[in-house]
Structure 1
Amino acid sequence: MAAYAARDEHIPRVRELTGEENHLTGSGDWLSDSQHSQASGDREGQIQGYASATSVSPGQVIDFHVSVHEEQSYRITVFRLGHYGDKGARLRTTSAKLQGKRRTVPGADPETGVIACDWPVSWSLRIPSGWRSGLYQAVFTTEGGKVSSTPFVVREPARASDILMVVPFTTYQAYNMWPQDGRTGKNLYRGYNKAGEVGGPEERAHKVSFDRPYSDAGIPNRFEMDTSFVRWAERSGLDVTYASSLDLHDGTIDTSKYRALFFAGHDEYWSKPMLDSARKAVSARSHLAFLGANNIYFHVRMEPSAGGRANRVMACYKSTPDPAPGRAGVTTRWRDISPDQQHAEQGLLGIQFNGIVQKPAPLVVKGSGHWLWAGTGLREGARLPKMVGVEADGYDPKAPSPAGSRRTLLAESPYEAKRLTASQPRVQHTALTEMPNGAMVFVAGTFHWALALDSAPHRNKHIQTATRNLVNRMLHKEA
């Protein structure tokens, strides 16, 4: 199939700044959440699709593989996500009318649980040279109005922007339980039992494939954390380019040339090369900012697809014996790879995951005189309601810390952590760890920090100011 080159007849020439890009006309037709009234579902599978890559550069081709339950025409519409006058996206191109066909939903591999589609290419898009780096969404719409989607990144690896935002596609796939049809779907947590109910670890997969749609409307788990940061950053006029977590894995992106790397979403699943890329950035005095919690928690191994395409399968055996651990060790929690926890995530981040939040709790400000809190008007012990949510991080005195570093705790928030039988008290921390070479690693320690930037009802002006202070300091501007 010949690649379709999107036409930019009415698009001005490429801007230098992301802020200028966001002055262009926006569109509200992108899929912002999985509750869309016309969203496709896994049981019916009215229309669903996946992309051939998590990221692509201008001039390269990305393929889309689409299945339509009933033969009918459909279109693929591509949006760049951003601010765009509060619309949240900008329409970039639309395919010609395509004829849909129903494709086979594969069964799970009996040994690994992997579910991998081998659908033919439905439409190919060559990324125009004028397209800015960004988080994009392809929306699939049938003639009957049913919709689903899949995200991807357009990168600009040759341009050293101030900030590189890394989109956590490895974690997206870890949680993707497509198809949620009552019998087939699996992810790295659970699968269906013989009664057609969602089971536990016994039914889960040990490997997941990128060659499959995301469940239902195609919105990955916790996608709103990433889109919230994207809108805030681009509305603020920051100089941002984008990459997939797999770009850190395969070295497509040189992390050492950016002033700061931002991980805004749920970034739990990391390969050894991904971690090496982050450490390379810190060694080059680039800064890291994690705006969620539970980061760099599980070690994963990337493998080729059955057809030989690199990095299309992700393995994570967790508590099950790993049959092929390789040089990087078994695919379990990083902190469990060795008995002395020398690989624990706190060794880079300064704090680490310590619990699932029973119900949202206030974030309690610590060190209010620190530059992070400048201009917020917050005093010591101030409580920001419901800011500690979903999962939380904290300092663990038994875990390793970065050698020679200085850690500053900027929030100290009691919360109740979920357990199987009862909640248990925990303390959440927000932390800034300064390395001997001047590089900073910031960890918010809660999922609600990223949402507070630009996601109703979580918006919080204090968190917005603090994040701007963080950006300014990382970019060597006065906070």
Structure 2
Amino acid sequence: MILGYPDDPTVTAGGRIVLRVSTDAPAFRVLVYRCGARTELVQATDWLPGRSAPRLLPFEDWDWPAHALDVPADRAAGVHVAVLVEGDGRRWTTPEVAPDPDARTARVLFVVRAPADRRPRVLYKLPLLTYHAYNLGVPDPGRAWSLYSLPEPRPAEVPPTVSVRRPGGGTGGTPWDVFNHDPFDPSPRQTFRHWDAPFLAWLERHGVAVDLCTDLDLHRDPALLDRCTLLLSAGHDEYWTDAMRDGAEKFVADGGNVAFFGGNTCWWRVEFDDDHAFRRVANWWDPAGPDRPENHLTGVSFRNGGERDRDDHPVPVGYRVQHADHWVWEGTGLADGDVIGDGPDEYLIGYEADGAHFDRSRTARGLPARPTGDDGTPGGFTILGVGDIAPGGWGHGNAAATMGLHDGGGGTVFTASTTDWPRLLAGGTCPAVEQVTHNVVSRLAGGAS
């Protein structure tokens, strides 16, 4: 078996990425693929010496044997996956077909950023902390540990802490909830392949140039947002540190824009114990904890949305349009009361969704939903779509996903409020989802290049 992880998950083109690898084979090679509109082989090494290394506790720095790869200065920014291939150091044939970037072993994900003088002003953030919160790391019951599980028999009481310096982190490890099958996509949730890859592929196919970063970059240096016009996040961006949250809110206050094309966003507050291990502290909204509802940033919260799988709740729910004359709906041809994403193969609202609390007595009288603000949603938040999940007997609080946006005191924050937005975007089954995405990205990027 071969496993690996990056010493640091981000490198600037022209720099060097260090991969940490353990294998029981005498030799291995590294094939590096860039994952954009297509998966493209961009680098291959010669045979490297293989060595087995111990699997440590999940909150430790595993410090496996290091192998450095130089990244050419002209390498395009993007998510890269290193495929680790074991062998005997002899004959080798490069595969003609790119392998799946998602696997439980033999994969290492890292991000290549553009050099500072040619970075696009749209920045896409990978939810690395969410990947690792669910990441069990290795297929070993004695070391299978995440923020959601401990191995059996349980070890002595320890803080629920995990390290980013172990296998996993988007691919190459096993997510704790791999058992939670998605009927629409065989790739596990909490992996790069499930939500982020299709969203990035769509952006590239439509000519949207983006730079890349991970949570770790934003945590370490919130000032990286200073030259951006738009911060993008998609899928499941659940875990945020103080520095990430502070940086994003300052960015918006200073006139920057944020678009969240996902759900369950900014749900947990986490802290780093050192430079590589973090622990879950509390929900952002918790009055006994941070008492800083995520709504202040996103406009919505999981508290008024919920979790929903098709296998348990087979009736699809989409967004009922309101304020159809708003620029977000431009070009869709939709009118107030129309519904998008409720086809049997669409199922737009799920697997997790966020909402802003609103007075249901208004909507019962045929009036547009508008936020009450009693959950922390800014008063200027405009609800553009309502996905009512209460009739299905599930959800939290108000039990309705709400797509919308608000002026964060300077810039604009848009939220799609459902994790599966990228699935419909990439699938092409719902033209309105594509048009809304195009409208939001184009407008909030402000002509960025």
TM-score, normalised to structure 1's length? 0.74
After TM superposition, the structure 1 = structure 2 runs for residues 45-444 of structure 1, keeping only pairs within 5 Å, are 46-68=1-23, 70-83=24-37, 88-106=38-56, 108=57, 114-121=59-66, 123-143=67-87, 148-156=106-114, 158=116, 159-194=118-153, 206-214=160-168, 217-218=172-173, 221-223=190-192, 224-251=194-221, 254-304=224-274, 311-316=275-280, 331-336=281-286, 338=288, 342-354=291-303, 355-359=306-310, 361-367=316-322, 368-379=324-335, 380-385=337-342, 386-396=347-357, 397-402=373-378, 406-415=380-389, 426-437=399-410, 439-444=411-416
CA distance in 2, matches of 1:467, 1:371: 12
Q: 1:58 to 1:269 in 2, by over 3 A?
A: same
Q: Could you say what secondary structure the match of 1:332 adopts?
A: strand
Question: In the alignment, which residue of structure 1 is the partner of 2:100?
Answer: none
SS at match of 1:264: strand
* Deviation larger for 384-393 or 215-224: 215-224
Decide whether the 8 Å contact of 1:63 with 1:125 is kept in 2: yes
State the number of aligned residues. Answer: 388
Mapped to 2, the partners of 1:204 and 1:391 lie a distance apart of: 29
Residue pair 2:34, 2:40 contacting (<8 A) in 1 also: yes
Alpha-carbon distance, 1:190 to partner: 1.1
Question: What is the identity, as a one-letter code, of the residue corresponding to 1:369?
Answer: D
RMSD of Structure 2 on Structure 1 (CA): 2.8
Q: SS of the residue aligned with 2:5?
A: strand
Q: Alignment identity in percent?
A: 28
Cα distance 1:192–1:204, how it changes in 2: closer, same or farther (>3 A)? farther
Q: Distance in 1 between matches of 2:317 and 2:115?
A: 39
Shift of 1:170: 1.2
Counterpart secondary structure, 1:189: coil
AA aligned opposite 2:307: I
Alpha-carbon contact 1:366-1:409 (below 8 Å) kept: no
Q: Hey, what's the Cα distance between the residues in 2 that align with 1:54 and 1:474?
A: 27
The alignment status of 1:460 with 2:430, answered yes or no, reads yes
Aligned CA distance change for structure 1 residues 204 and 414 (closer, same or farther; 3 Å): farther
Query: What CA distance in whole angstroms lies between the structure 1 residues aligned with 2:9 and 2:84?
Result: 17
Tell whether the 8 Å contact from 1:192 to 1:203 is kept in structure 2 after alignment: no
C-alpha displacement of 1:219: 7.5
| 8 Å Cα contact 1:432-1:442 kept in structure 2 | yes
> Quick one: which amino acid aligns to residue 403 of structure 2?
T
1:62 CA displacement: 1.5
- Pairwise CA distance, 1:239: 2.2
- Aligned residue in 2 for 1:33: none
SS at match of 2:43: strand
Aligned to 2:364: none
| One-letter amino acid of the structure 1 residue matched with residue 253 of structure 2 | S
Residue 445 of structure 1: SS of its match in structure 2?
Answer: coil
Residue identity matched to 1:335: W
Shift of 1:313: 1.0
Tell me, which stretches of 5 or more residues in structure 2 are unaligned?
89-94, 96-102, 176-189, 358-372
Say whether the 8 Å CA contact 1:186–1:203 is kept in structure 2. Answer: no
Label 1:392 to 1:252 Cα distance change in 2 as closer, same or farther (>3 A). Answer: closer
State the distance in 2 between where 1:153 and 1:342 align: 33
- Change in Cα spacing, 1:242 to 1:395, as seen in structure 2 (3 Å) is same
Which residue of structure 1 aligns with residue 368 of structure 2?
A: none
Residues in 2 aligned to 1:376 and 1:432: alpha-carbon distance in whole angstroms:
18
* C-alpha deviation, 1:50, in angstroms: 0.6
What 5-or-longer segments of structure 1 have no aligned partner? 1-45, 197-201, 305-310, 317-330
Contact 2:61 2:276 in 1 (8 A): no
C-alpha spacing 1:192/1:132, structure 2 compared with 1 (3 Å): same
Contact 1:451 1:459 in 2 (8 A): no
Q: Could you say if the C-alpha distance between residues 55 and 217 of structure 1 is closer, same or farther in structure 2, counting changes exceeding 3 Å?
A: closer
